[in-house]
Amino acid sequence: MENALKDEEILRLTIEDPSYFSILVDRYQIPFVRKALGVVKNKEEAEDIVQETFVKIYKYADNFKKQENIEFKSWAYKILMNTSFTHYQKLKKNIGNTEYLDPILYEDKLGENNELASLHDARKAVEKVINSMPEHLSRVLKLYYLDDKSYADICKIEKISIPTLKMRLFRAKRLFKKISVE
Amino acid sequence: MDKTPEKIKRKILIKIYTLWFLKRVVPLIIIQAMILVLALKIFANNVFVSKVLQNSSVAADSGYWIFFKYIGLAILSARPLTQIAILIGLGIGALIIRDILRSLLTYKTMWIRK
């Protein structure tokens, strides 16, 4: 019966009774690890990120309650991505050559250009490509693929309609591929 | 079977439980304990406890009914401030027991809920 509860309701219940949190952990633990792994490429690190993310979700559950019309899923993924990038930054400082790439951009890039010798090259190349794109296109690309924002969220941020966003994303991807080939 | 998700889940739930306990239960128990100490202080200032205990042991020798009657009469004949302190003490004591039981029950449920 508890499985029928919405994520938002469960989160509300966890404030008084944390035992409900195990339902959220069951639902999101594996997808979270997969997503974090896409950023840090290290299983142990990804698991740490997921633990930290769940703790933050619980800590800030009160804040979520106050925000209207926000889905738990997108809110939780936002926390996960922020935590992942913070961890990545730390790793980068400590190790110096840690790689991170969104799987979509990474696969796209490798698919386009097989002569890239290593992930390091791929990362540099993706950064270079994104930086060389017009700002309005690179922005939507980053928001959609790297920040994992929904169409609705990006439309709000960019103050554009969904058809415009779709067109921009299409153009951004096409330009990304074009610049990558060059 | 991969045991890793269960291990991570356990770690996460322990952290969540600790957070909940520190955030929700501990402050409550601290406040309740402070009120209880205050109530006991008022009680101790107004009642000659050793005398009451002495009398109650005599009453207890005569049977349960006499003992409870003695306790009841002692409370009823006490000053209003002492009566209030006793009531507060009993109420807060019950709340502390409730919170401790709730914490134990929640901890048990954390591993069962699916």
Which chain A positions have a beta carbon within 8 Å of B19's beta carbon? 18, 55, 58-59
Which chain A positions have a beta carbon within 8 Å of B113's beta carbon? 2, 19-20, 22-23
Report pTM: 0.62
Q: What is the pLDDT of residues A109-118, one digit of tens each?
A: 444 444 434 4
- What does the block give as tokens for B21? 């306990």
Three-state DSSP state, A53:
helix
| B17 and chain A in contact, CB less than 8 A | yes
8 A C-beta contact, residue B85 and residue B43:
yes
**Boundary-marking domain end, from A95, A127, A149:** A95
Specify the number of domains making up chain A: 2
Which chain A positions have a beta carbon within 8 Å of B16's beta carbon? 14, 18, 21, 54-55, 58
Residue numbers of the domain that contains A120: 103-181
Is the model's pLDDT at B7 over the cut of 70?
A: yes
Query: A56 and A23 in one domain?
Result: yes
Query: A63 and A24 in one domain?
Result: yes
Q: CATH number for the domain including A91? A: 1.10.1740.10
Does A18 sit within 8 Å of B106, measured CB to CB? yes
The CB-side HSE value for A38 (13 A sphere, CA atoms) comes to: 17
Query: A54 and A11 in one domain?
Result: yes
**Boundary-marking domain end, from A95, A116, A138:** A95
Residues A153 and A26: their CA atoms lie apart, in Å, by 26
Which chain A positions have a beta carbon within 8 Å of B111's beta carbon? 22
* Structure ipTM: 0.71
> Concatenated DSSP letters for A93-120?
HHHS------HHHHHHHHHH-TT--SHH
Q: What is the pLDDT of residues B30-75, one digit of tens each?
A: 999 999 999 999 888 888 877 877 888 888 888 888 888 888 888 8
| B113 and chain A in contact, CB less than 8 A | yes
Query: A91 and A26 in one domain?
Result: yes
Q: What is the pLDDT of residues A62-102, one digit of tens each?
A: 888 666 677 888 899 989 999 998 888 888 777 655 555 55
The share of chain A scoring above pLDDT 90, in percent, equals: 21
Is the model more confident about A123 or about A25?
Answer: A25
